[in-house]
Structure 1
């Protein structure tokens, strides 16, 4: 009995096996219209057509049969019944090439050529065919082929001889189809409905068609798809989408178990369309599904064997493991066929085919920079090893395979893109052969833990996502907290849809908080996720369009020109290829026009140095359809004559009118919101910047691709680190932090040195270490965290650093936010196949350079009134802004230098009656004191012309000696017109209470100051003799000095800071 059962298992057909394993893949319709007709009955009716006077019916029957088998584009008959006029009974009508490509039956050439058809039931068919062919040729209608269909039997040798004779005689290929061909097409290929409907033979089952619920849905979907495919205009400009629809139609036909000729025809149509317009993945998928269908639905081993080689050649060009998975699956069909004794190992050339696949997978499996791809390849190699052990009956080798599967699971735990479902399914299937192997039992345990952990992480992340979805962007910091943790938990292949939702919100939350580099990184991650979905589904998700629109706005806000060009290029591509509704297309087109205007406004406000870097840009803008931006750039470069010559500026438009138009464009509010330094990514030095907590962070790079990637990662990581710090009572004391990236051939690892005295930092990076290297990602991510920690310590005042860091790393899991941001370069490369974009990437579009002219139009900016959208607050104190750019730091006080200098007092001096007096600041530490004034000289020069250093003397302090006074040093307040109502400013200050016994020195100084209207400030050191040593080489001339009585200091005066700090308020 056991042997009989084993034999039964071996001879089971593929379709039987798959139907039992996956019944949902097959038709669920129980009752169908069935046509009953046997071969003898059909042959009898064909033999008696003439005697029953059915020649007209036979003509229609033949035409319908030829439409199903030869070509669908046939006219009705052109002569009397029976072709008595010796002309064609029917002929093809011309069909446009793009329509013919949509046929899934017949031969494509019929669309471009005129073919003639003659049908006959006469007994002497050989005479009739000669007569009909001669008559058809004599019509001189330029037929390229002639088909003759007879109801009579024709011996193969006779038929072939007459075909050759007539083809040679008339120079037109002649094909004869006899009764045997009719019987084969009607009976064997299940076209009995044609005989029933047009010859009135056979019978149809009386039961009405009762479709199963799944088939009902499939039928409706297939009907709609075929209707859209038949319309050649339905996919105009969206040819790749048509490929997707054609392949879906073929799969639906397969799953509904339609006749094979229909299903094969639909697959061949999908393959044809993919070859013409599809992506590489679509070409693979169409051919793969055709082979897969032939095996599992039609038990066609021959088709698998004959098609594998060609498909293998196409697939092995790829270095993407998911593409090679197609080949792995087809190889598995050979393995299954060998196991069940359908074919032998030699017959399917299993060893050599396996060897070629192993070689290709082996190369991918060792690629450390593409870990997900490598692990997918390693999984396929393990499956091959398992198959080989089973085929060779070496089950003892399976234990090592199970152990390696366990190791793969461990690697997969940190790789979100890895298709874990495939490995889990393979572990389940392997149970059929593993028995009670301890290594397999261990694998099952690890798989259970892996699935449980992966699922629990994702389920927890979904809770955070749902909470974030209920918030609005007034709570953007809370959204960043929630989504930063949620996104990392959703980076699993099976949760891609939810990951995309989280990234969309996170990107917008970062942008609303003014953290544009973090927003850009999230946008790149999101776009890469959508592209990967599109690669696998052979259709880019429509949500790619709004993602690119956001990227374009982020790029504009960063003044990142290459990124902006790239996003517009992708938007144009999406507009041309995605299945968007007409109103959606119009909306995207309108958005692109807005981007065009916004970029034009930005370009008109650039400085001459920036414009010189854009002399090659006009032709690129033209190629991308950004015509207004091109016109604006050419105009401000001084090339109005070019605009006149190409009609961009009409002849009837005066120079004054043109200037007025461009002045209005330059005055748009959008231009005033885009004030960052221009990012061009040339191979020259450049500076990238951001604003965090109101503090400007600049990072200088030399222009190499690696240095740009490092700068992007640093800025994005800093933004992610400090994203929610506004709510944590962290106060920056520095206006600007300057960082430099230095690439070094000798550096063994990245290092960071921070000079707190200069507020500068240097990142030294090994020249051979890619910032996106996966192998070193753990160390690199720790390095970004180290840089952020140094910046926090050097630039901010924080009450409880331990509590802040614990909250940041434990409650907020900031390390996950930083990790996702730091992966931006990998995401960008996934989309663009390059790590960064440069203007030179569009070199092919550049026809000439437009040099900046020395004489160019001067624009007259027009003050435009903006609508006041502020909401009156019910509180005296407005709510804290949620945008880091709404904060600013004004500081002439370098905290670290002042701390080191140890300010102890002031001294007054005047060395000549013709020179203004001096105020000397007495310091104990020379290095600190010098550093303070050296920085001031670097920033303001020997004369503080703009009075950036605010110096106040407050006299008559409450409850103090009348000669005691307070000295305050801080930054000057900004002009009221430049200060927005919702802006929060942080100002560092230093104050000191002076306690002289009398006011002689101060009054002498003040009298001299009133006389000259100016004074010097300089550092002084306490000497060993007790006499201050004045450092005249560091003196700075000033004119403004505020002298107030404490009683006259108002609540909002700068001097109130000193009174509060020193407890005089």
Structure 2
């Protein structure tokens, strides 16, 4: 016992294996005292686990009552002293416990390796401390030690002791999957390695309840395994069916599986449960060898194989294993022949898909490593379709993670978010199956957190921070890995602080309950900036958030600096909130700004998110098909309609607006409505493509997108992100109200709220360049853009309106005295509605004065040497003033219109130019002409005061000049010496 007085003292010992050990220790101690012998100590050993407090209380009770120190030693002590200290031989020699003949053990190479592993694990267990990460490691190590002991066929008392230790540690510090694993494997090991069914019989209900609590057929199948082996045990008369409670347990299992099989909201799990029901019948009928019953079972399994098509998570290997094992039972069965043939074709296709997926994955990773995200999405998207089956979960996780990274690099953040969530679903499946957290979960959650910040979704970020903090505290990470994770958490906090700093004042009050939540998560930078934005700057010193003596002006400067960080430019200007707030989100696809607008209910928000994600996924690889933007902006308005029966999607090209009306009965909250929703999502995607783009050979390009790229599957497979969010986070839409328990108080805004001016604006703003794009060297061929934000559509030409308007030419006029008003340049159009539509759109965009010179009009003279008075008019959006504001290397698309003017003289033009040079500006107006009117109708009420007029000669225009599109190959240009 390690006591120096042991040699001079008399000790008494009592032992018990009874489950009710407390009455036994009291009676034994009383009996020892009543012998009249003078004992210095009394030791009581029990094979049962004893809680420390209960042990201490009874020891004190008996010691006080009899005046002799009483020590109770429980099962854990016995295991520790016998197994962990390596005294198994003493237990056998002196106590006759088990068998122990190490000299007869023949150790092969595998067992030698296992012994080494076991020794290393036991040494590591001794060194583990009380920190949460150590306890997490202990759960894994104690289970692995038990598993190795079992496989090494160590003596039963040794293996059983290790399993009991693993169960106790899992109950204390493990996850649900780890508790289930330890209990299940213990009973399994005792049955198969020691031919003892009693642990399984005794712990059946405990394991059953653990399996049921997860709600998955996969866990319940473990209980089904128990039933199978116990039934076989009874069938061989080793135990009675009554002792093993087979009838009631089998009936209960059938009821549980039936309930699962009827849950249509989880189709994979439901079909798995239905399969287990059929296999229960197979076990029963197989023992009776009833040919007709077996034929029915083979038919049922054949039907299940067919129905599993499209259910990616259904474990088809379960049926494959069964057919392989029992095919000899019905050698003449036609139904089994059909099942075998169906299964062979089905498994062959899955295996072929797996091989193809590996090839696509390799190619996609090569593209990703070479910073080609658009091409990576193409190849990885094809791989993800092949890896959807349950047996490729590991490969699918890797593929989805890299697709999410590629989507993010391509500027498609909603598609990235959805795919990242799907990757986490697979990570959780792997973790649950192995009962160990997949370490790659860390970078995936970190990526989701980054996307949440970039999308302005603070509530999603809070969920990610909870998860990351939990992983940091519980996972046994190496020192370097732990430091890296801490750095990532700090970086997310810093980025979120930038987001808060750049929000408009109107978005701040709704966050008044957030500071305590940020504080609880250690997001101190975000907390500090938010409190300043809420007007609490004067109280930051009092709250010990900034050093004493710090001026509020310093806090203001810091906030302005954060708001001007480059990272802030990739974040939205408003919060991304869920129910209770109308949905507003913006994305950029092939350089076109697309704005999604929706309602404020949860159904509305999730529908908008689904539509937006599908559109981004569908359009992701459009650059591979020479797609060009044709509008600057598109608005998509989505609304749920109570009385509507069918989805309605309409495009108004003249206003660049899509209206989606969706029936309430087809809510995307209902998983059964997913299949119904898919065709409508594809219709929306196709309509967005036609509304914002032009492409050569449209039909051919679309056919390639659908067939070669499998864009439909890629767009729809992961668009319903709320289902994935519910599986990994427990909610289909996060809300700040979910964290109410962390909120000690609210911080109401103190008005007036401080204004935040980004620091760069204070320093003079962004310089502008008047340098022509044509002055730089430009390659003959452009590479495919690798981000949808790497290009910008700058068109002011609404193509449907201009096509309808019928541009006839230009007209020069005056309104009032020539020396008092600038001249008028009229665009002569033949359709009044289209003409007013064009100018109303410009009035709304630029106002009645084009102060930023966005409308650019060029008059190109000298285009035909043989016709000196002819010229061309070119209307486009100015890109010179905005050139310096674009990202380096970005590509600008500018749709323009050109008209040939063929006057007999230049008198009108010269008069206009004379007046323009005098005033430096002109009125741009729509002019309507029609066959029924004798005179043009000048619509002066729609005029715009402009000054961005360029009068040039054709010979001045270079190859990459904005006006280069005006010059045609056959033009006989007037040379400089002829002007």
Q: Give your verdict on TM over 0.5.
A: yes
**Per-residue deviation, residues 993-1030 of structure 1 (Å, max 9, x unmatched):** 11122223333333333344433223232231342223
Q: Please, what TM-score do these two structures have when normalized by structure 2?
A: 0.87
The aligned counterpart of 1:365 is 261
Query: How is 1:582-661 mapped onto 2 (pairs within 5 angstroms)?
Result: 582-661=479-558
> How many Å separate the matches in 2 of 1:805 and 1:246?
57
The aligned counterpart of 1:316 is 212
> How many Å separate the matches in 2 of 1:310 and 1:527?
29
Change (3 A) 1:201 1:952: closer
CA contact (8 A) 1:730 1:796 kept: yes
Aligned length: 931
Match of 1:217 among 107, 113, 118: 113
Query: How is 1:402-417 mapped onto 2 (pairs within 5 angstroms)?
Result: 402-417=298-313
Change (3 A) 1:958 1:422: same
Q: Secondary structure at the match of 2:411?
A: coil
**Per-residue deviation, residues 710-764 of structure 1 (Å, max 9, x unmatched):** 2222222222222222232211111111101110122223331111111111122
Change (3 A) 1:173 1:283: farther
Match of 1:938 among 812, 822, 844: 844
CA contact (8 A) 2:507 2:574 kept: no
The aligned counterpart of 1:61 is none
Q: CA deviation at 1:864?
A: 12
Q: Which has the larger radius of gyration?
A: 1
Change (3 A) 1:249 1:199: closer
Query: How is 1:709-728 mapped onto 2 (pairs within 5 angstroms)?
Result: 709-728=606-625
**Per-residue deviation, residues 150-196 of structure 1 (Å, max 9, x unmatched):** xxxxxxxxxxxxxxxx999839898999xxxx9xx99xxx9982178
1:474 lines up with 2:371 in the alignment: yes
Query: How is 1:883-902 mapped onto 2 (pairs within 5 angstroms)?
Result: 883-902=787-806
1:1025 lines up with 2:933 in the alignment: yes
Change (3 A) 1:742 1:660: closer
1:952 lines up with 2:858 in the alignment: yes
CA contact (8 A) 1:552 1:564 kept: yes
The aligned counterpart of 2:962 is 1054
Q: Secondary structure at the match of 1:954?
A: strand
**Per-residue deviation, residues 968-990 of structure 1 (Å, max 9, x unmatched):** 11111143431333010000111
> How many Å separate the matches in 2 of 1:945 and 1:550?
42
Change (3 A) 1:1061 1:236: farther
**Per-residue deviation, residues 9-45 of structure 1 (Å, max 9, x unmatched):** xxxxxxxxxxxxxxxxxxxxxxxxxxxxxxxxxxxxx
Match of 1:850 among 744, 748, 770: 748
Q: CA deviation at 1:431?
A: 2.2
Q: Where does the alignment leave 5 or more consecutive residues of structure 1 unmatched? A: 1-73, 93-104, 120-124, 138-142, 150-165, 867-871
Q: Where does the alignment leave 5 or more consecutive residues of structure 2 unmatched? A: 48-61, 767-775, 974-979
The aligned counterpart of 1:260 is 156
The aligned counterpart of 2:770 is none
Q: Which moved more, 1:524-533 or 1:1046-1055?
A: 1046-1055
Query: How is 1:235-634 mapped onto 2 (pairs within 5 angstroms)?
Result: 236-237=132-133, 239-391=135-287, 394-471=290-367, 472-634=369-531
> How many Å separate the matches in 1 of 2:522 and 2:366?
39
1:977 lines up with 2:881 in the alignment: no
Match of 2:812 among 891, 908, 918: 908
1:80 lines up with 2:7 in the alignment: yes
Match of 1:1036 among 908, 923, 944: 944
> How many Å separate the matches in 2 of 1:904 and 1:819?
46
Cα RMSD (Å): 3.8
CA contact (8 A) 1:77 1:90 kept: no
Q: Secondary structure at the match of 2:748?
A: coil
> How many Å separate the matches in 1 of 2:67 and 2:234?
49
CA contact (8 A) 1:235 1:242 kept: no
Change (3 A) 1:702 1:675: closer
Q: CA deviation at 1:524?
A: 0.9
Q: CA deviation at 1:598?
A: 2.0
1:1000 lines up with 2:898 in the alignment: no
CA contact (8 A) 2:923 2:944 kept: yes
Q: Please, what TM-score do these two structures have when normalized by structure 1?
A: 0.81
Q: Secondary structure at the match of 1:647?
A: coil
Q: CA deviation at 1:230?
A: 2.6
> How many Å separate the matches in 1 of 2:720 and 2:137?
30
Q: CA deviation at 1:241?
A: 4.1
Q: Secondary structure at the match of 1:416?
A: coil
The aligned counterpart of 1:700 is 597
Q: Secondary structure at the match of 2:133?
A: coil
Q: Which moved more, 1:873-882 or 1:358-367?
A: 873-882
The aligned counterpart of 2:772 is none
Q: Secondary structure at the match of 2:603?
A: helix
> How many Å separate the matches in 2 of 1:538 and 1:1009?
79
> How many Å separate the matches in 1 of 2:370 and 2:419?
16
